[in-house]
Amino acid sequence: MDDVERARQILAEERQSIDNIDAALVNLLAERFRHTQRVGRLKAEHGLPPADPAREQDQVARLKALAKESGLDPVFAEAFLRFIVTEVIRHHEQLRRDDGA
């Protein structure tokens, strides 16, 4: 096997690992959203606010520490969490509107 062939084989193996991880991420995100939807329904039913900035602050601090330990850029970890939380809050606002309708 020449060098290019070997490189192609490694590329295919790495891409298989990436695909597996992407599938796991999607499954985990779906599971997370199932929980946050339950939280959103609970909040809507009891008149609690969709967003909880204090809780978010704790989560950001915890995830940034975890990211540092794992060798992941903590700035990226924070941006990723904020991206998800923004979507969750949008869902919770929608649930509140649905509940009030």
Ligand X SMILES: C=C(O[C@@H]1C=C(C(=O)O)C=C[C@H]1O)C(=O)O
- Of the pair 8, 32, the CB lying nearest ligand X is at 32
Contacting positions for ligand X (CB under 6 A):
36, 39, 51-52, 55-56, 59, 84-85, 88-89, 92
DSSP three-state, residue 47: coil
Which residue is nearest to ligand X, using beta carbons? 88
Nearer to ligand X, 8 or 38 (CB): 38
- In whole angstroms, the minimum distance from the beta carbon of 57 to ligand X comes to 10
Alpha carbon 66 to chain centroid, angstroms? 14
Among residues 93, 90, 81, which one has the least CA distance to residue 29? Answer: 81
Nearer to ligand X among residue 67 and residue 88 (C-beta): 88
Residue 82 beta carbon to ligand X: minimum distance, rounded to whole angstroms: 10
Cβ burial, residue 37 (10 Å; 0-12/13-18/19+): middle
Q: Which residue from 31, 41, 78, 32 is spatially nearest to 56, judged by alpha carbons? A: 78
Q: In the complex, what is the shortest distance from the CB of residue 39 to ligand X, in angstroms, rounded to a whole number?
A: 4
Cβ neighbours, 10 Å, residue 50: 17
Q: How far is the CB of 43 from ligand X (least distance, A)?
A: 7
